Amino acid sequence: MTARETLLRDYRAAFLRYLSRREESALHSGYQLGRGALADGRSPLEVVQVHHDVLAEVLRDSPAAEVPLIARSASDFLVEVLASYDMARRGPGS
């Protein structure tokens, strides 16, 4: 399994967990996923691409009435995933 396939698998699992519960602990999984991706040298562009792939899968299988809530939840999750990249960019003490 490639690094991207592993990231895709882990991202899918964490995102689906968040969609099913929409709790802080599930959102924290996104933060942890982002930290791991950053530590593994994954670029933010790769993470966003994986997010898009997973979101497209979810939307394909979702009723139209759920799409607005899924879109808002996806945005919240992605922001949490990318928080580590933002903190690394800002550096210590920012």
Over residues 30-82, the pLDDT tens digits come to 999 999 999 999 999 999 999 999 999 999 999 999 999 999 999 999 999 99
The pLDDT of residue 94 is above 60: no
Q: Tell me how crowded residue 41 is: count the other CB atoms within 10 A of its CB.
A: 8
Q: Taking Cα atoms as reference points, which of 16, 75, 28 lies closest to residue 36?
A: 28
| 38 within a domain of the structure (yes/no) | yes
| 63 within a domain of the structure (yes/no) | yes
| 73 within a domain of the structure (yes/no) | yes
Q: Which CATH number belongs to the domain containing residue 83 in this structure?
A: 1.10.1240
Count of domains in the chain?
1
User: Who wins on pLDDT, 91 or 36?
Assistant: 36
**Which residues are CB-contacts of 83 (< 8 A; sequence separation ≥ 6)?**
31, 34
Name the residue range of residue 81's domain. 3-89
| 94 within a domain of the structure (yes/no) | no
Return the pLDDT at 93: 62
| 59 within a domain of the structure (yes/no) | yes
Q: Tell me how crowded residue 11 is: count the other CB atoms within 10 A of its CB.
A: 24
State the pTM of this model.
0.91
